[in-house]
């Protein structure tokens, strides 16, 4: 894969539950991370004392974060409402020339900031709330 433009990595939100995804407005930076817990099954019989892990076990999760400029667009309003209502709607993360990750996420944090001579900004964190799908581009 050749170098990609960072602005092409998008976080999208299904605003109405209809399957129509809209890019969250004002984002300048996005990040997606995947995690998998390990299950250690090492015993006295483990060869050479090396740790052994149980394949396919443990909890898998994903986290999305983003930061940007507050624009008071429909996506900003909907994201705030999702947080206060504790909903877990579908989101998409578009990774250029790689694929689309889609599934339910919970908004775990929204932070707003601003300075005297600057724009209002926000940071957003989401945690996966169910199994995710991946579709290659």
The kind and range of the H/E element at 128 are strand 121-128
Supply the pLDDT for residue 6.
79
pTM of whole model > 0.85? yes
- Answer whether residue 47 is part of any domain: no
Task: Calculate the alpha carbon distances from 87 to 1, 42, 69, 83 in Å.
Answer: 36, 39, 23, 7
Supply the pLDDT for residue 70.
79
Q: Which domain holds residue 26?
A: 6-41+53-136
- Answer whether residue 70 is part of any domain: yes
- Answer whether residue 1 is part of any domain: no
- Answer whether residue 46 is part of any domain: no
- Answer whether residue 48 is part of any domain: no
Q: What is the CATH number of the domain that holds 68?
A: 2.30.110.20
State the 10-residue block means of pLDDT for the chain, 137 residues long: 79 90 90 95 94 93 93 85 95 92 96 91 95 95
- Answer whether residue 122 is part of any domain: yes
Number of domains in the chain: 1
């Amino acid at each position: 894969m050749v170098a990609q433009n960072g602005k092409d990595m998008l976080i999208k939100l299904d605003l109405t539950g209809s399957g129509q995804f809209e890019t969250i407005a004002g984002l300048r930076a996005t990040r997606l991370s995947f995690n998998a817990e390990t299950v250690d099954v090492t015993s006295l019989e483990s060869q050479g004392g090396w740790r052994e892990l149980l394949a396919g076990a443990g909890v898998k999760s994903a986290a999305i974060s983003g930061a940007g400029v507050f624009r008071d667009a429909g996506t900003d309003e909907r994201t705030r409402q999702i947080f206060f209502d504790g909903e877990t709607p579908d989101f998409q993360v578009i990774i250029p020339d790689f694929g689309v990750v889609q599934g339910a996420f919970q908004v775990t944090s929204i932070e707003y900031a601003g300075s005297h001579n600057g724009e209002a900004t926000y940071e957003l964190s989401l945690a996966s709330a169910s199994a995710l799908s991946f579709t290659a581009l």
